[in-house]
Amino acid sequence: MGHGTRTRETQQSHASVTSPTVRVGAAGRAACGPGPRSSVRELAGLDMKEPPGPGKHRTHVIRRRIRLSLAVVVALSVLAFSAAGVVISLEIGAANADAALTSRIQATEADVGAAVDAQRDALRLYVINGSADLVQAYHQGVDAEQAALQKLIGLAAGDERLVAATSALDSSSAAWRAGRAEPAIALVDRGAKAAAQNTMGDSYELQLLGSVDSSRMILTSVVQTREQATRDGAAALSTTIVAMLVAVGLMIIVAVLVVGRWFTRSISDPLDHLMITAEAVTSGHDAEFKAERDDEVGMLAGTLEGLRRSVEQRLEETRSNASRAQTFNVLSERIAFASGEEDILEGAMIALDRLLSPARGDFLLLNPSQDRLFVAAAWGSGALPRGTPINVDRPDKCPGIRHGFPYLVADVQDGMAVQCVVHRAESGSLLCVPMLAVGQTVGVIHLQQPPDRPIDAGAIRLASRVAEQAALALANTRLMRTLEGQAMTDALTGLHNARFFDPYLERELLASARDRHPLGVIMIDLDRFKVFNDTYGHPAGDQALKAFAITVESSLRASDLVARYGGEEFVVAVRGADLAATIAVAEKIRKSVERLVVDLGPGRRAKLTASFGVASSPVHGTDRLVLLRTADDALYQAKQQGRNRVAVPWSAAAHTPAIEQRPPAPEVVSDEPAPRDDNRGETEHPAA
């Protein structure tokens, strides 16, 4: 892996530069805040109030001509459509009236048929059962028929066939009532129901009913014929309307053609000339748009000329942007081949000088604990040497680090402006750009410019790009160095090692201080382990270290942690344990180790002992190094007192509970005195 992203990805990112979120002071908003969008005329350098050339009246020449032509076309169209509309309205009104009349005639004809059928049904039922209600229903049917026939004759005024058919139905229906219906009712009323029933259905009645039905069929046929005539009239009206609209449309087309011919001669030809000039400019020829006409086309030519000049200016800006992109590409390549943090920062500093030429600035990096800033690179007057720590109690005193966004102080002499106490500036503008990578703050870049060269939004974007690339490269470099130089687990025992334990203890100390809980530390060293190795061999020593690690882990809670600190030295962190509780845990481990029997093979066994030094936070301090040193001193005391025991620092011995004293550990082979580092100073086991 390289320190930077790949070249192709970097080039793509350079091609589309996004604007970072920027926090500015009140005085800086006017310097880099977005303004209103420029119109085409403003880009072309034209005054929106005064058109180019002499006289304002010339901008209305073509406009007046177009308005006049459109007025003529619209007037002709209105007249034609008005005349056609009047005729169509009259025709449609007549057709609608005829259709409504036909619909009423159809409904009335249906009412006549229903009344006739009601009379027949009521008569037959009356003859059968003689109910008085049926006689009333019969007379109601007669009345309804007469009313419907009178209405139908009124509607059919002027239609002789319909009047004749209606009269014929009236006559045939009256003949049936006089010839059969009334006599049958009279017979039933006299009690001769059987005689009345005999008259029903005879040949005479059938003749009368046939006459009625024939008249009804004729009336229905006449009504249907009238309905069909109405439909044919509607279809003819539609054809007439279409013909009239076509005629009006042809008139309008002719008018438009006449106006179009004039438009072509007075407007289109001059525009074609402008198009030819535009094509020449596009092809790279040195052509200009000339305003030769005293109308809107001339004004358009002047506008295009202004745009041409604006494009040339934008082309120069594009070349400048390309140069900046090239600078970022070179920076990416340099970062990719950088051998360390110094090379990365040097490349970023050169890139900033080419892009912005800041008068003064620095690169400040955070220490691993994220609580101190130190100078990684600086330039300009009053630049601090590399490695100089910044005299501030918290890094977030820098507004850029505090907010996590670039922060601009447009005028550091403004009494209302937020000042950066990390980088003091006396005049001009100051930009604080945080260096962020994978969610972490790596450092901050400060850029200072004099009052005559204020920092704008473009400068903020460029500085943010440089900060982003440098921060990612620094993070990658540190990650690679960490992965290459650290292994968090001891391969032999499976315990964590010192590289894991040290930051772990730092975090635990901070947590215990925050929660006001004690934290115990136990330093353990196997007694005369070199003699053990020399006596039983290194494989046996490896087996003993494994058994010892298992024994210690089994004696601890799940919340406690044991790590192999180096060779035969181990360290334990006991959460929530004061000095007395830590001593008790150490004594528990010591007894477990004392009872441990290491199986070295068939018929071979060995025993181990260990010495313990304890310390506790906050009694012996809250700093990791101080606490470990205190526990190590106590371990040395345990060695001096004969090994196989738990010891506390001399200063705390008088205030701790009595510790069970054990006989000195038996020596396997040794008549030598025990120096301070007799176990840790011996040749370290290869597995360590």
- Angle of helix 61-129 relative to helix 132-155, nearest 10 degrees, comes to 150
Whether the CB-CB separation of 586 and 615 falls below 8 Å is answered with no
Both structure tokens of 299: 């004004």
Both structure tokens of 630: 């205190």
Both structure tokens of 510: 């901070």
Annotated catalytic residue 660: no
Taking CB atoms within 8 Å and a gap of at least 24, the contacts of 535-543 are 535/668, 535/669, 536/600, 536/604, 536/606, 538/685, 538/686, 538/687, 540/598, 540/600, 540/604, 540/606, 541/685, 541/687, 542/492, 542/685, 542/687, 543/598, 543/599, 543/600
383: burial class by Cβ within 10 Å (0-12, 13-18, 19+)?
middle
**Count of other CB atoms within 10 angstroms of residue 651:** 11
Q: Which of these, 435, 308, 425, lies nearest to 377 by C-alpha position?
A: 435
Amino acid, single-letter form, for residue 312: E
How many C-alpha atoms does 178 have within 13 Å on its Cβ side? 6
Question: Sign of dihedral through CA atoms 44, 45, 47, 52?
Answer: negative
Q: Is the peptide bond before 20 cis (omega within 30 degrees of 0)?
A: no
Whether the CB-CB separation of 646 and 623 falls below 8 Å is answered with no
DSSP 8-state symbol, 360: E
Whose tokens are 């051998």? That residue is 339
Q: Which of these, 450, 418, 446, lies nearest to 432 by C-alpha position?
A: 446
Whether the CB-CB separation of 616 and 584 falls below 8 Å is answered with no
Q: How far apart are the first and last CA of the chain?
A: 30
Both structure tokens of 242: 């279409």
Rounded alpha-carbon distances, angstroms, from residue 450 to 404, 410, 413: 25, 10, 12
Sheet with strand 646-647: strands edge to edge: 496-497, 561-566, 569-575, 519-526, 610-617, 646-647
Q: Which of these, 38, 75, 148, 26, lies nearest to 414 by C-alpha position?
A: 26
Angstrom distance (rounded) from CA 474 to CA 347 = 12
Question: Sign of dihedral through CA atoms 274, 276, 279, 285?
Answer: negative
Catalytic residue among 568, 569, 667, 682: 568
343: burial class by Cβ within 10 Å (0-12, 13-18, 19+)?
middle
Rounded alpha-carbon distances, angstroms, from residue 636 to 586, 625, 630, 654: 15, 16, 10, 18
Q: CB neighbours of 87 closer than 8 A, spacing ≥ 6?
A: 244
Query: Active-site residue numbers?
Result: 568
